[in-house]
């Protein structure tokens, strides 16, 4: 395998894994390519496929200057296979094989487990593109339209990343899984995507920003855990994916921030102090803060389901095997084997939510989820700074982890956003104060009118502070063609 320092752009598939010399894998990927492009044209962004978009493309894998920006028509985007540089002498960082040389080939006894992890990760990538495919029609600006497409093409590349690993290391099984990844469809009754949140709709741009803030952040946490993997090709793959993922969360965090900023400015200008004076706020053509809170409640709770069950032997096995580590495993200072330690969990016991110490190995999903909640809270804090600076008393908060859950122990109860367990009928009665109602969705939908003049923005969102790649405010990020 190449050492990864050079990207080869000569063939059909840009790569730094030596595809030119790896005939078997090159052929498998070139055979898969037309089906992928067909999927992109059918299930990728609706419209705009002929429009040049100002996109970044990876031209290196180092931390400095890895991307170049240029106008590209999306179907011509150079989706490639890019791994972070190999680390000389790397060893397995955790689990039963800790300290042994990192695997360059799939360890036979862990083949099924590894394949499952790759397939689940791979499945989320095209799913998100499918979920977002209608949004181009209602983009609030050319800047946002371009950011949507950037996220989409990179999620497409992340699918390539997993497909490469499947085809390179799993032979015929891998090729079959790669085909299946192009066949499942987000929200399809017969052949849905694998994880719940990836079958939900992303009906409007506030949902898109919330999704990229909350759900892409699950991507960050899961990729960060897989980047620790003792299976070195997976580690290198995920390390490079993380550099791209950062932009997706930037889009989400600044997207919601700009919505909040615009609402705050409009409230101030109209002399409205009460954030719950919803009719008056909405009459200004901005989204009221309680509705933004409800959207956050929805996307946060849907995303928590992606971390799996409180107690998981799957997670324990993957850790023991050295395949999936913890967030920032390399910065932690314990024994990295966890065979005799415990972790404090929130559990449901006799109908009440209690803390309980459980074996650390079985609690790895929740440890990652706790790290996720902390990471998300930092971004929410930045949203709240906008409100504080505007002198508005409202604050966005993260709901309790037991709220609105479908996976894990809390799926059995009806907890409110504070974590109080309510009778089912009371929860239903309170629902409209916690989650978006159809009325809220209709109001948001009414605001979703496209804005396509250079440098202009919809009424409900503030312009960004700086342009992409330092471009000026009136830059034409997407040259819209019929
Ligand atoms: N939906 O032992 P458990 C991203 C199943 S996002 C449906 O707790 P485990 C992105 C589970 O499969 C990151 N089923 O499971 C973001 C298991 O079934 P089996 C994606 C679920 O394995 C935005 C059973 O319940 N990457 O990249 O410990 C845009 C027992 O559960 C769900 C990954 O997730 C669910 N939510 O934990 C684009 C990383 N949860 O096998 C991209 C890879 C659990 O017993 N995946 N089940 O039949 C994993 O690490 C783990 O599989 C999971 C689940 C964390 C997902």
Please write the tens of the pLDDT for every residue from 22-33: 999 999 999 999
**Choice from 194, 242, 308 to test ligand 1 binding pocket (greatest atom count within 8 A of CB):** 308
Mean pLDDT of 456-471: 96
Q: Quick one: pLDDT at residue 334?
A: 95
CA-derived radius of gyration, the chain = 23
Give the Cα separation of 282 and 270 in Å (integer): 12
User: How many CB atoms lie under 10 A from the CB of residue 3?
Assistant: 11
Mean of per-residue pLDDT scores for the chain: 96
- By DSSP bridging, strand 67-73 and strand 52-58 are antiparallel
- By DSSP bridging, strand 342-349 and strand 52-58 are unpaired
Give the model confidence (pLDDT) of 83-140 as tens digits.
Answer: 999 999 999 999 999 999 999 999 999 999 999 999 999 999 999 999 999 999 999 9
Q: What are phi and psi of 263, to 5 degrees?
A: -65, -45
Residues in CB range of 283: below 8 A, 6 or more apart: none
**What are the beta bridge partners of residue 91?**
101
- Ligand 1 binding pocket (C-beta < 6 A) is 117, 120-121, 124-125, 128, 155, 195-196, 215-216, 218-219, 222, 305-309, 312, 314-315, 324, 365, 407
Q: Find out whether 380 and 396 touch, Cβ atoms under 8 Å.
A: yes
On the question of pLDDT at 20 being above 60, the answer is yes
On the question of pLDDT at 169 being above 80, the answer is yes
Which two structure tokens, joined as six digits, stand for 183?
A: 């066949």
Q: What's the CA-to-centroid distance between 435 and ligand 1, angstroms?
A: 24
481 confidence band (pLDDT: 50, 70, 90): confident
Residues in CB range of 441: below 8 A, 6 or more apart: 203, 204
Q: Which atom of ligand 1 is nearest to the CA of 195?
A: 1
Host H or E run for residue 257: helix 232-270
Q: Quick one: pLDDT at residue 1?
A: 45
Burial per residue of 398-417, b for 16 or more beta-carbon CB atoms within 10 angstroms, e otherwise: bbbbbbbbebbbbeebbbbb
6 confidence band (pLDDT: 50, 70, 90): confident
Q: What's the CA-to-centroid distance between 388 and ligand 1, angstroms?
A: 37
Q: Quick one: pLDDT at residue 60?
A: 81
Q: What's the CA-to-centroid distance between 357 and ligand 1, angstroms?
A: 23
- Tell me the CA distances in angstroms from 379 to 149, 209, 309, 316, 480, one per residue in order: 23, 13, 25, 30, 33
What is the signed CA dihedral for 70, 72, 76, 80, rounded to 10 degrees? 30
Q: Which atom of ligand 1 is nearest to the CA of 307?
A: 55
Q: Whose C-alpha lies nearest to ligand 1, atom 48?
A: 314
Q: Between 371 and 2, name the one with better pLDDT.
A: 371
Residue identified by tokens 């954030």 is 275
Q: Whose C-alpha lies nearest to ligand 1, atom 27?
A: 219
**Choice from 314, 320, 323, 368 to test ligand 1 binding pocket (greatest atom count within 8 A of CB):** 314
| Cα-based angle 455, 458, 460 (whole degrees, multiple of 5) | 135
Q: Which atom of ligand 1 is nearest to the CA of 226?
A: 39
Give the Cα separation of 204 and 233 in Å (integer): 37
What ranges in 44-92 are assigned the alpha helix state H? none
pTM for the structure as a whole: 0.97
Q: What's the CA-to-centroid distance between 195 and ligand 1, angstroms?
A: 6
Give 323's DSSP letter: S
Q: Which is nearest to 231 in space by CA: 328, 93, 104, 109? A: 104
Give the model confidence (pLDDT) of 382-420 as tens digits.
Answer: 999 999 999 999 999 999 999 999 999 999 999 999 999
On the question of pLDDT at 4 being above 70, the answer is no
Using a 10 angstrom Cβ sphere, with 0-12 exposed, 13-18 middle and 19 or more buried, the burial of residue 354 is exposed
Q: What's the CA-to-centroid distance between 424 and ligand 1, angstroms?
A: 27
On the question of pLDDT at 3 being above 80, the answer is no
Give the Cα separation of 304 and 368 in Å (integer): 10
65 confidence band (pLDDT: 50, 70, 90): low
Q: What's the CA-to-centroid distance between 213 and ligand 1, angstroms?
A: 19
Using a 10 angstrom Cβ sphere, with 0-12 exposed, 13-18 middle and 19 or more buried, the burial of residue 24 is exposed
On the question of pLDDT at 307 being above 90, the answer is yes
5 confidence band (pLDDT: 50, 70, 90): low
Q: Which atom of ligand 1 is nearest to the CA of 306?
A: 36
Q: Quick one: pLDDT at residue 282?
A: 98
Give the Cα separation of 417 and 412 in Å (integer): 15
Q: Which atom of ligand 1 is nearest to the CA of 221?
A: 13
Give the Cα separation of 403 and 1 in Å (integer): 47
Which two structure tokens, joined as six digits, stand for 399?
A: 């709901």
Q: Which is nearest to 241 in space by CA: 80, 64, 78? A: 80
Mean pLDDT of 337-356: 95
């Amino acid at each position: 395998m190449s050492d990864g320092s050079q990207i080869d752009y000569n063939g059909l598939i840009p790569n730094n894994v030596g595809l030119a010399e790896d005939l078997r894998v090159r052929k498998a990927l070139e055979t898969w390519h037309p089906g992928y492009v067909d999927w992109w044209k059918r299930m990728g962004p609706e419209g705009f496929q002929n429009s040049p978009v100002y996109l970044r493309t990876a031209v290196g894998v180092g931390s400095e200057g890895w991307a170049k920006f240029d106008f590209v028509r999306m179907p011509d985007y150079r989706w490639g296979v890019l791994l972070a540089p190999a680390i000389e002498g790397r060893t397995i960082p955790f689990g039963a094989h800790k300290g042994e040389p990192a695997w360059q080939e799939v360890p036979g006894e862990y083949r099924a487990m590894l394949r499952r992890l790759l397939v689940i990760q791979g499945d989320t990538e095209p799913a998100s593109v499918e979920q977002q495919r209608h949004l181009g029609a209602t983009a609030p600006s050319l800047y946002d339209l371009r950011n949507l497409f950037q996220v989409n093409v990179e999620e497409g590349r992340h699918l390539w990343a997993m497909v490469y690993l499947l085809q390179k290391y799993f032979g015929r099984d891998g090729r079959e899984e790669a085909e299946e990844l192009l066949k499942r469809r987000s929200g399809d009754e017969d052949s849905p995507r694998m994880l719940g949140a990836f079958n939900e709709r992303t009906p409007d741009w506030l949902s898109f920003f919330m999704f990229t803030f909350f759900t892409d952040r699950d991507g960050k946490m899961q990729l960060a855990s897989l980047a620790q993997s003792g299976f070195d090709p997976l580690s290198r793959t995920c390390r490079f994916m993380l550099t791209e993922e950062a932009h997706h969360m930037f889009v989400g965090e600044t997207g919601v921030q700009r919505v909040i900023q615009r609402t705050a400015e409009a409230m101030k200008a109209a002399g409205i102090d009460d954030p719950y004076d919803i009719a008056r706020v909405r009459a200004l053509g901005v989204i009221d803060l309680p509705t933004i809170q409800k959207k956050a409640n929805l996307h946060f709770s849907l995303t928590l389901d992606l971390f799996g069950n409180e107690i998981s032997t799957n997670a324990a096995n993957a850790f023991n095997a050295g395949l999936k580590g913890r967030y920032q495993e390399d910065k932690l200072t314990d024994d990295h084997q966890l065979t005799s330690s415990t972790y404090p969990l929130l559990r449901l016991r006799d109908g009440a939510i209690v803390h309980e110490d459980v074996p650390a190995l079985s609690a790895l999903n929740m440890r990652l989820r706790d790290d996720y909640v902390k990471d998300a809270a930092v971004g929410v804090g930045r949203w709240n700074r906008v409100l504080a600076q505007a002198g508005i008393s409202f604050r966005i908060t993260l709901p309790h982890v037991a709220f609105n859950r479908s996976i894990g122990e809390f799926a059995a109860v009806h907890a409110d956003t504070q974590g109080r367990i309510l009778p089912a009928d009371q929860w239903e009665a309170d629902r409209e104060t916690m989650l978006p109602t159809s009325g809220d969705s209709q109001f948001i939908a009414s605001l979703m009118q496209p804005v396509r003049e250079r440098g202009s923005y919809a009424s409900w969102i503030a312009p960004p502070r700086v342009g992409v790649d330092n471009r000026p405010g009136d830059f034409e990020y997407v040259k819209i063609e019929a």
